[in-house]
Amino acid sequence: MSELISSIVIDFDLVCDKAIYPTLGLVALNTGGPIGVYLFGTLNDRIGRRLSFFTCLATLILGGILTSISNNFWTWAACRMIVGLTIPAIYQIPFIISLELVGPNYRSFVTVMTCTFYTMGLCMLAGVTYLIPEWRILALATSTPFLLYFFYLRFLPESPRWLLAKGRLSEASDILQTLAKVNGKELPESFTQKLKQRMSMSRSKSEEERLRTGPGVLSLFKTPNMRLKTCLITLNWFANNMVYVGLSYYGPALGNEEHVSFFFSSLAEIPSYMACYIVMDRWGRRWPLCLCMVTAGLSCIATVLLPSDAVMTTLILFLLSKSTISASFLIIYPFAGELYPTQLRGIAIGFSAYISGLGLIIIPFITYLGTENLVLPLVILGAVSVIGGLSGLRLPETLHHRLPQTVEEGELFGKDFKIADCLRCVPIKYKIKKNNFFSVHTI
């Protein structure tokens, strides 16, 4: 079962002057990602989290089926680009739904559970690729099972936060009532009265249209604080994405058996998730994010000091890097989701993921350098990780803070953050001005 009987290299004769073609296939896959996250991020805020998720799911299944029937390399690469449109949007949209369905005290738990199941999927993928050496069958085996998710269509609720932000108060009220009933709770009377009061207010057509369409991505850059946070989140996401995916691609090259190497490089992520679950609700997001990224970067860079025959030490440093960058990748998702306001959360995360996805286009070429020099890709990825980690200290802490709803709240959150606060490792208080009074939230 471990013997390779079919691959695109064999079937499409990608040897000699075409040896670079498999790398180009990865580039095609990663090129689809930046387009997809922005496209589905826009849909996420326009038509809702629920419909955009199932649209993304349908695109993934279509791309996988088309991949399996490709009869030449360029058709195969085009189909991989279709699949790439859904990566990582297929992960981000359910994560946003989960983040918006729970309260502040459960965000860390939801994040850890989401990432743990993702990593379990990677570990299973190592076994699936070992058992299915024929690439056409593999393409079907890794896409058609997603059809089962459509049975979930009738059970998955729309995000009540998104409905409230869009002014669809009646639908939001119904979902909130259902959630409260399932949890054996009752909505606070003050909240119910306020919601009914807003539902009874009539709105002009222009206001209805404004709520329906919502603000665009340019709203992220119109005000100074929101602009700075957007740039820092995007830079950090870029570094996280590039290093995590780069190490994932690089892992199988470090062992004699690529399936085993990939399995253990994926398995190394789970202990870091457990550590994050303990640390995130005590230290917050900023410092764990910085420490994880700097540790990952220094571990990668340290490989340049090792002799060429120190394969085992290189492997240990690689696993440390993969574990810590996985932890930081876990943190950046809720951190970004908590910093971006609900009105823009889908398109904002889509924008940051889009920019970070541009770095993935060059990742296959960086890992390709490893064929000539084993440690060179690790040094490049390490430098990117350290820079990204240090930049994250300038972002305001979000621990236990309620999610900002409007663009105005997003601008005011952390506006009084000072350079000296970069080194602060304890929660601080921010004030958000709303409806002519200040609502103080403990971070």
Burial degree of 223 (CB within 10 A; 0-12, 13-18, 19+): middle
Please tell me the distance from the alpha carbon of residue 82 to that of residue 250, in angstroms, as a whole number: 24
Count of CB atoms within 10 A of residue 201's CB? 7
* pLDDT attached to residue 53: 92
For 195-213, what is each residue's pLDDT tens digit? Answer: 767 666 655 555 555 555 5
Local confidence band at 67 (pLDDT 50, 70, 90 cut-offs)? very high
Residue among 4, 262, 264 nearest 138 (CA): 4
* pLDDT attached to residue 442: 34
**Stretch 315-339: mean pLDDT:** 87
Q: Is the pLDDT of residue 304 over 50?
A: yes
Count of CB atoms within 10 A of residue 152's CB? 11
Question: With pLDDT > 90 as the criterion, what percentage of the chain qualifies?
Answer: 15
Backbone φ, ψ for residue 298 (5° rounding): -65, -35
CB 441 within 8 A of CB 401: yes
Q: Is the pLDDT of residue 255 over 70?
A: no
For 347-399, what is each residue's pLDDT tens digit? Answer: 788 788 778 877 777 777 776 676 666 677 778 888 989 999 998 888 888 88
* pLDDT attached to residue 4: 53
Token output for 3: 């013997």
Which residues belong to CATH 1.20.1250.20 in the chain?
8-158+216-394
Please tell me the distance from the alpha carbon of residue 221 to that of residue 213, in angstroms, as a whole number: 18
* pLDDT attached to residue 183: 81
Please tell me the distance from the alpha carbon of residue 132 to that of residue 2, in angstroms, as a whole number: 8
* pLDDT attached to residue 56: 93
C-alpha 73, offset from chain centre? 29
Q: Which CATH architecture has domain 8-158+216-394?
A: Up-down Bundle (1.20)
Q: What's the one-letter identity of residue 316?
A: I
Residue among 251, 384, 241, 389 nearest 320 (CA): 251
Burial degree of 315 (CB within 10 A; 0-12, 13-18, 19+): middle
Q: Is the pLDDT of residue 191 over 50?
A: yes
Token output for 64: 């996988």
Contacts of residue 371, Cβ cutoff 8 Å, sequence gap at least 6: none
* pLDDT attached to residue 377: 79
Question: With pLDDT > 70 as the criterion, what percentage of the chain qualifies?
Answer: 86
Residue among 121, 58, 46, 128 nearest 86 (CA): 58
For 96-133, what is each residue's pLDDT tens digit? Answer: 888 888 877 787 788 888 888 888 988 898 889 888 88
